[in-house]
Amino acid sequence: MAEPARLQVQICYAAPGLQVLKDIEVQEGCTIQQAIMGSGLLREHPAIDLTACRVGIYGKVKELDTPLRARDRIEIYRPLIADPKDSRRRRVAHKEKATR
């Protein structure tokens, strides 16, 4: 019986003062969640919470049950601290106030 194909993928995570790039090999049909769990990343960095963090492949948000393809880069995104729209509104209001 033929052995399942193996895929090379990369897992990326960044936080203040930390950047993790981990190259791993997974079986064909593996999902994003299975790859992250199998990589040992969550044991090494227990602050990563997959229930709060979104994940993606090459900048496109995906679900944890998304199957992987060869050479995918899995990215784990931290939750936003501030809403970008609110931050921009505050900057514009501050700038308008300063010019008056």
Digit-coded pLDDT (tens) for 17-34: 999 999 999 999 999 999
Digit-coded pLDDT (tens) for 44-54: 999 899 999 99
Task: Find the Cα–Cα–Cα–Cα dihedral 5, 65, 25, 14, rounded to 10°.
Answer: 160
Residues with Cβ within 8 Å of residue 5, at least 6 apart in sequence? 27, 28
Digit-coded pLDDT (tens) for 75-90: 999 887 777 788 888 8
CA-CA distance, 38 to 45, in Å (whole number)? 13
36-to-18, 63, 65 alpha-carbon distances in Å: 17, 13, 11
CA-CA distance, 59 to 76, in Å (whole number)? 10
| Paired strand residues for 54 | 77
